[in-house]
Structure 1
Amino acid sequence: MNGLNKGIRKVEVSLKWDPSPAGQPPTDLDIVAATYPAADPSGDPAYVVHFDSRSPDGTITLNRDSRTGQGFGWDEVMTVELNRLDSRYGRVVIGVAIQQEASPRTFGDVGKPALRIREDYTVLTEDDFASVRGSTAAVVAEFVRDGSGSWSFLPGLRGHDEDPATFARVMGAPRAS
């Protein structure tokens, strides 16, 4: 490892969307983060962070949660402090799920959804979910720790069609080759 390369240290995952049209049920998108043990990075998550929760050690925090998409700027914001994450964890998967309580919705049904992941002021990725418009949930990023302890970012959206609870269990499945 290059002594000057510290890898990804702390990221901010931001999500926004337009509120539902008048008379329609609210649209609720949620950022979900799953942390996996280094010994089994594609197995069951050690823990999952979503609305109304945070990681046991405080390294993953949902700073802003919206149930409607109403607000100024980014409606949901999650901070992931990879540099503080215990060495027993080797992978963090970030996803976005659409709550399906009011009526079934896909990303194509959501008004102007947008995603931004950044480290400090450096934007790592931005997306509008167009490539997964028929899905109800999507993996939006993975962070993987290498043998030296440095974290790297693996971008790319992968659509899923599960409800939020099922999605939280399966979102860490290995990428298809």
Structure 2
Amino acid sequence: MESIKIKKATEQDIDRLQLIGKQTFAETFSSENSEENMREYLEKEFSIEKLKSELTDENSEFYFAKLDNETIGYLKINIGQSQTEIKGTNSLEIERIYVLREFYGKKVGQILYYKAIEIAKGNNVDYVWLGVWEQNLRAIRFYEKNGFVEFNKHVFVLGEDEQTDIMMKLKLN
């Protein structure tokens, strides 16, 4: 088996990004959410217009995890004013790390995570932060294993449903 490669996404990758984004989000959360809320969220958050504006934002970056030329996961990071909540210049937000379910347990998420940390260190930020759904215990354990600690909570709206995200951070400096 070939090794997993990380490739920065560009505007030319918008269709692939939309596909992997919708597929991984649906695989991760469909069983715990209504079909209607999922459909509304996926159409809004992964619309071509929204993805295009995110891909052209100089403070946001997407990276694909690729295996044998197949996209199997992706990472989205934000710095500066593009962070969804904490707008401090000394932090980096991991907005998304998603992996196709069939590749769970194969260290794909860890490889994408290491890429985010590499970028954070390259930007000389003090800490990395993220929000994770309180019911996504698998992800919470992953981030705790990587040294993240809870520091707050915030509301995440999925369709009509208000959910609680745990905000976690990792101090780098």
| Shared fold, TM over 0.5 | no
Greater RCO (Cα-Cα under 8 Å, separation 6 or more):
1
Q: Normalization by structure 1: what TM-score?
A: 0.30
Task: Give 1 or 2: higher helix fraction.
Answer: 2
Q: Normalization by structure 2: what TM-score?
A: 0.30
Task: Give 1 or 2: higher strand fraction.
Answer: 1
